[in-house]
């Protein structure tokens, strides 16, 4: 592609690159799933199904189980998964380290919804993301509910995108890590929610479970300053890491 065409596309807000693992996070994630021989993805914090849909778009054909607590997002998620026999949507619930019920704050942009209180920095970084409502939802431990969904799967990817609640999800999954080959979790570099663990703390928590950081993906960026606020970390079980990282 000529520089003139690239410049014209850039002026229109479009950046064109050759599709590869070096230019596409979706392609890189697909390569990671192939490398790990993942046969089931547990999609925790699925929202409307954008993560699972992206997995499909980039070539993953294995099983997916999505978890989502918000009523409107759950309806969209169910519609997105309809017709895909390998993509199952669990009953509507939040996941954490205890069982019962819990209130979840509904954000103006849905994706920023969280059980935790949102801090002002989040709203400054993403105008319109402030809370607009609240819903009471069932709260379950993943290791108490996952059994009915795992079946004969042996190599799981646990993906967690729960807006600051990732450590509680992990704490409620301790009894199932034997089959979890990799963990993909959102990591915050600055406080966006009250009581959330930041990058170093959550990375240490996951490492203590026996996983090492293997890849990172770009995440949430401050719209005005360009500061990276969040990124995704892909952690591989320590026995599968290159020798120098074990």
Q: pLDDT at position 21, please?
A: 87
* Structure confidence at residue 97 as a pLDDT band (50, 70, 90): very high
Q: How many CB atoms lie within 10 A of CB 130?
A: 15
* Structure confidence at residue 185 as a pLDDT band (50, 70, 90): very high
pLDDT at 2 over 70: no
The rounded Cα 45 to chain-centroid distance in angstroms is 6
84 touches 56 (CB < 8 A)? yes
Q: What is the pLDDT of residues 7-31, one digit of tens each?
A: 655 656 666 667 788 888 999 999 9
Q: pLDDT at position 132, please?
A: 95
Q: pLDDT at position 15, please?
A: 65
Q: pLDDT at position 19, please?
A: 72
Q: What is the mean pLDDT of residues 127-153?
A: 94
195 touches 116 (CB < 8 A)? yes
Average pLDDT, the chain: 92
φ/ψ of 145, rounded to 5, equals -115, -20
Q: What is the mean pLDDT of residues 114-121?
A: 94
Q: pLDDT at position 7, please?
A: 62
Strand partners for 66 = 43, 89
Q: pLDDT at position 44, please?
A: 98
Integer Cα distance of 23 and 151 in angstroms: 35
Q: What is the pLDDT of residues 34-68, one digit of tens each?
A: 999 999 999 999 999 999 999 999 999 999 999 99
Assign domain 37-226 to a CATH class.
alpha beta
User: For residue 44, which of 77, 72, 76 has the smallest C-alpha distance?
Assistant: 77
Model-level pTM? Answer: 0.92
Least-confidence region, from 83-87, 107-111, 193-197: 107-111
Q: pLDDT at position 141, please?
A: 98
- What is the C-alpha R_g of the chain? 18
**Which segments of the chain does DSSP mark as H helices, in order?**
3-11, 25-36, 50-57, 71-81, 120-125, 142-145, 147-150, 166-171, 199-208
Q: pLDDT at position 159, please?
A: 98
Q: pLDDT at position 18, please?
A: 74
Q: Where are the extended beta strands (E) located within the chain?
A: 40-44, 63-67, 87-89, 94-96, 100-107, 131-141, 156-160, 180-188, 211-218, 230-237
Q: pLDDT at position 66, please?
A: 98
User: For residue 160, which of 188, 121, 125 has the smallest C-alpha distance?
Assistant: 188
Domain ranges of the chain: 37-226
Q: How far apart are the first and last CA of the chain?
A: 43
DSSP code at position 92? S
């Amino acid at each position: 592609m000529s520089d003139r065409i690239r410049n014209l596309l850039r002026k229109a807000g479009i950046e064109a690159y050759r599709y590869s693992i070096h230019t596409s996070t979706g392609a890189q994630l697909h390569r990671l799933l192939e490398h790990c021989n993942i046969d089931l993805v547990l999609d925790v914090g699925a929202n409307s199904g954008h993560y699972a849909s992206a997995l499909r778009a980039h070539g993953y054909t294995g099983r997916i189980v999505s978890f989502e607590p918000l009523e409107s997002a759950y309806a969209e998620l169910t519609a997105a998964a309809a017709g895909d026999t390998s993509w199952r949507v669990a009953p509507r619930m939040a996941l954490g380290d205890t069982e019962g019920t819990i209130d979840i704050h509904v954000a103006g942009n849905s994706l920023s919804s969280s059980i935790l209180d949102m801090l002002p920095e989040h709203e400054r970084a993403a105008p319109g993301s402030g809370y607009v409502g609240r819903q009471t939802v069932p709260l379950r431990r993943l290791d108490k509910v996952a059994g009915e969904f795992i079946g004969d799967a042996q190599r799981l990817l646990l993906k967690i995108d729960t807006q600051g609640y990732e450590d509680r999800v992990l704490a409620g999954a301790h009894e199932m890590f034997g089959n979890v080959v990799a963990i993909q979790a959102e990591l915050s570099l600055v406080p966006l929610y009250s009581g959330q663990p930041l990058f170093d703390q959550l990375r240490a928590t996951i490492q203590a479970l026996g996983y090492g950081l293997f890849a990172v993906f770009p995440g949430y960026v401050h719209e005005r300053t360009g500061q990276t606020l969040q990124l995704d970390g892909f952690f591989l079980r320590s026995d599968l890491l290159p020798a120098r990282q074990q």
